Structure 1
Amino acid sequence: MRRLLWALLALLLLAAALVWAWNFWGTPSLDESPPTTPPNSDQVARGAYLARVGNCMLCHTERGGTPYAGGRAIETPFGTVYSSNITPDAATGIGGWSAGYFRRALQEGRSRDGRLLYPAFPYPHMTLVTANDADALFDYLRSLPPANKPNRAHRLRWPYSTQAALAVWRVLYFRPEKFEEDATHTPEWNRGAYLVRGLAHCGACHTARNALGGSSDLTDLSGGLIPMQNWYAPSLSSASEAGTADWPLAEIEQLLSTGIAPRATTSGPMAEVVLNSLQYLEPGDIRAMAVYLKSLPPTPGDTDPLEVRNPTDQVLSRGSKIYKDRCIECHGDRGQGVPNAYPALARNRQVTLPVTANLVQVVLHGGFAPATRRNPKPFGMPPFATQLSDADVAAVLSYVRASWGNRASPVSEFEVAQQRSSARP
């Protein structure tokens, strides 16, 4: 028994040494000196644009707070992570950082002091950002007014709060990479791939995660439930979810830049992305992203149902009555909707998704497309959380999912209750 215990201890020490070596061995030395001259205006403007592409300000700004001064709470299944201050304040921000330290944080997920960063900061995607783009981002951030705001301590459960656990996670799920252009595709396609996979980090939402928050492939865009937000980011390669292989290119561009297109309307987290980021992108970059997304090989949706259950006559009758009372004025008596205003529900693949989270969210809390420059006054849907019971919401959604050519299983009261109880202020 003693020999066995010593053997186990030796194995644990060996594993710990390997994890340490994986994360820290061979780390190149960096220029530790912060820049002493201000960045040029062209570099600042380029960095500001790249920050828009990456939607950096959204996470690094507390609601109502100073831009980029951090403090925003990011809820995860493991606890709360607070975004950091990335203004050029020397005491609490990145004022004492060099460009090399900033590149390392972005591409390797390590802070100035070598501390491993939590992947709520999407460095598994930002690792693809080029050194030139990283330097432009850094120059933009150091051009901002410094904000003296200390970073808040994360509130994570043990052992997720430890650097040791994070080091193990990185061994399992993180590899520093460089973006490599694919010579078999056009420069436009490669630009789109760079933006979608890297700086815009679309896979942060549109890729399924396991219980540890990891994924074996962050580029598959196969869809997944966004942790703690209870929105489902549909597969971008499945024709039954959000794939665009059969869309005209102009419609994909329209959806990305305005939040609304003939076949789809964004809401929830995606509407926020369009509002704060995508609407400001240059037309060439929007087109490049559209070209890349359209080229994704069609795949079966990960959530495609094996069988479809039919709602009972009682549920259909109740749902039909609620639809006529609450929904018909905007969505029409045949679910046809109103072009450029209210989306059609008939043969709408978002209506028939097996994951019903988004439908329940919209009925309970409202559905609102983003207000964009090309669509400044979007139509929205009011919330019904205080007007409809769980049974009412389940019935009307079950009716919609079984009408006008739609064929999907009914929504249960339990699914509605889950969404209602998990709503966050």
Structure 2
Amino acid sequence: MSRTRGLSAAVVALAGLLSVVCPANAQPPTPSGDSSVDRGQYLATVGNCAGCHTAPGGQPMAGGLHLDSPYGTFITPNITPDADHGIGRWSDDDFWRAMHEGRRPDGSAMYPACPYTSYTHVERADIDALHAYLGQIPPAANDTPDHRLDWPYRYRSLLTVWQWLYFEPGGLADKPQQSPAWNRGRYLVEGLGHCNECHRARGRFGTLQSADDAPGAMIHGWYAPPLADPAQAGLQQWSIKDAAAFLKRGKADHAAMMGPMADVVFDSLQYWSDEDALAAATYLKSLPARDVESPVRLIRLSRDGQRAAMDQGRTLYGKHCADCHGDNGQGGDGAPALAGNRAVTLADPINVANMIRGGGFAPATEGNPQPYGMPPFHGFSDRELAALISYIRGSWGNQASPVTGTNLRR
């Protein structure tokens, strides 16, 4: 970012900080206590229920959020205790069956856009506590419309066949050879935290790929990299303490949560107990490290093309980026380092392109109360943006492949 942009960047940073700190659905949960309701509130935060069931400007948990997907648009339901438009008539058994078996009270199958394929691992006592909490929040008479799905996905009757083929309800038995922290971490990550629902690619019929080296997935135009690859999103090379702090804080020296993941940290992860964050870090760190091949195939540049891109990118970086990120990508004054930053060296360059095009913030958390703001740069042509990204990906020890403008069109 150049010095001439300093004032505008400050304005962008202030406006963005206010929007991050003050959204309607960001409410610190009551710490887990003796009551089932208090416990349920904490569990709702762990599962980030409000993140999907609260529309922008809407009442918490009243549904109506539009989720675009390759299958059409899903519209999240109202899960407040309103008797006519929410789940106010649901019994504990009804709610358990929905979360554990993916079935509505009338017996019809639920779309796996609701991650019951992960929630099925959650214990009955926790599901009952979650239901108790939802029964105590203010009801909302918000009648959400039906999903707007493409053919043939709009036919709910086909979901019974889908569940028969691809879904088996069941819990997660503790592994006695592992520590209590590891077992708790697996329970959180694979269950209510439903991490793989975003970090693992899906097949044609919406099933999560089961291979250990499955690639990540695209979420709202951002790439959620696989948790098995330490070069992308894996925490295998971090200490458990540093990994837990990163999950709760959303920022480290050479890493920051951006895009949809920043929302997850802001709405959910920052409020996890220290014990649960350490448990999740323990489990994530233990995952077998895999070198996961990217589903994106970058167009190869000739040597002359690479040289021209690096020259153009160096000029653009010096003009627009060096004042904040440093001449050598070392970062400073709140701006993250780009040297050694795996977010800019991902095989898929779309995330760094999104950051440059649209700007953004790491989440505001107790450990990062005033996140540094990245202003948007809308004026770059596709070729200029690709050259700038290629320079960042190939400088200061970074060794990622150069990109072309075609690679950035999604």
What TM-score bracket applies, with the shorter chain setting the length? 0.7 to 0.9
Q: In the TM superposition, what is the alpha-carbon distance from 1:262 to its structure 2 partner? A: 2.4
Q: Within 1, Cα distance between the matches of 2:230 and 2:80?
A: 42
Asked if 1 retains the 8 angstrom alpha-carbon contact of 2:213 and 2:292, the reply is: no
Q: In the TM superposition, what is the alpha-carbon distance from 1:113 to its structure 2 partner? A: 0.8
Residue aligning to 2:258: 267
Equivalent residue runs for 1:278-357 within 5 Å: 278-303=269-294, 311-338=305-332, 341-357=334-350
Moved more, 241-250 or 118-127: 241-250
Q: In the TM superposition, what is the alpha-carbon distance from 1:192 to its structure 2 partner? A: 0.5
**3-state SS, counterpart of residue 169 of structure 2:** coil
Q: Within 1, Cα distance between the matches of 2:107 and 2:198?
A: 27
Equivalent residue runs for 1:75-224 within 5 Å: 75-217=68-210, 220=212, 222-224=214-216
Q: In the TM superposition, what is the alpha-carbon distance from 1:87 to its structure 2 partner? A: 0.9
> Which ranges of 4 or more aligned residues in structure 1 deviate by more than 3 Å?
220-223, 304-311
TM-score, length of structure 2 as denominator length: 0.87
Equivalent residue runs for 1:402-421 within 5 Å: 402-416=394-408, 418-419=409-410
Residue aligning to 2:371: 378
Q: Within 2, Cα distance between the matches of 1:92 and 1:101?
A: 16
Deviations for 1:32-60, whole angstroms, at most 9, x for unmatched residues? xxxxxxxx981111000000000001111
Q: Within 1, Cα distance between the matches of 2:297 and 2:37?
A: 52
Amino acid at match of 2:170: E
Deviations for 1:263-295, whole angstroms, at most 9, x for unmatched residues? 311101111100000001111001100111111
Q: In the TM superposition, what is the alpha-carbon distance from 1:99 to its structure 2 partner? A: 0.1
Asked if 2 retains the 8 angstrom alpha-carbon contact of 1:92 and 1:149, the reply is: yes
**3-state SS, counterpart of residue 345 of structure 1:** coil
Q: Within 2, Cα distance between the matches of 1:216 and 1:410?
A: 28
Unaligned residue ranges in structure 2 (runs of 5+): 1-32
Amino acid at match of 1:188: A
Amino acid at match of 1:415: N
* Distance change >3 Å, CA 221–CA 110, structure 1 → 2: farther
TM-score, length of structure 1 as denominator length: 0.84
Work out whether 1:52 is the aligned partner of 2:70: no
**3-state SS, counterpart of residue 183 of structure 2:** helix
Aligned length: 375
* Distance change >3 Å, CA 149–CA 255, structure 1 → 2: same
Q: Within 2, Cα distance between the matches of 1:271 and 1:319?
A: 28
Equivalent residue runs for 1:25-36 within 5 Å: none
Instruction: Give aligned-pair identity as a percent.
Output: 45
**3-state SS, counterpart of residue 158 of structure 1:** coil
Q: In the TM superposition, what is the alpha-carbon distance from 1:140 to its structure 2 partner? A: 0.3
Q: Within 1, Cα distance between the matches of 2:342 and 2:167?
A: 33
Residue aligning to 1:392: 384
Q: In the TM superposition, what is the alpha-carbon distance from 1:325 to its structure 2 partner? A: 0.5
**3-state SS, counterpart of residue 103 of structure 2:** coil
Asked if 1 retains the 8 angstrom alpha-carbon contact of 2:201 and 2:209, the reply is: no
Amino acid at match of 2:167: F
Residue aligning to 1:241: 232
Deviations for 1:198-245, whole angstroms, at most 9, x for unmatched residues? 100000111111222212428x48441225x12111122212212222
Amino acid at match of 1:55: N
Asked if 1 retains the 8 angstrom alpha-carbon contact of 2:197 and 2:208, the reply is: no
* Distance change >3 Å, CA 280–CA 337, structure 1 → 2: same
Asked if 2 retains the 8 angstrom alpha-carbon contact of 1:122 and 1:201, the reply is: yes
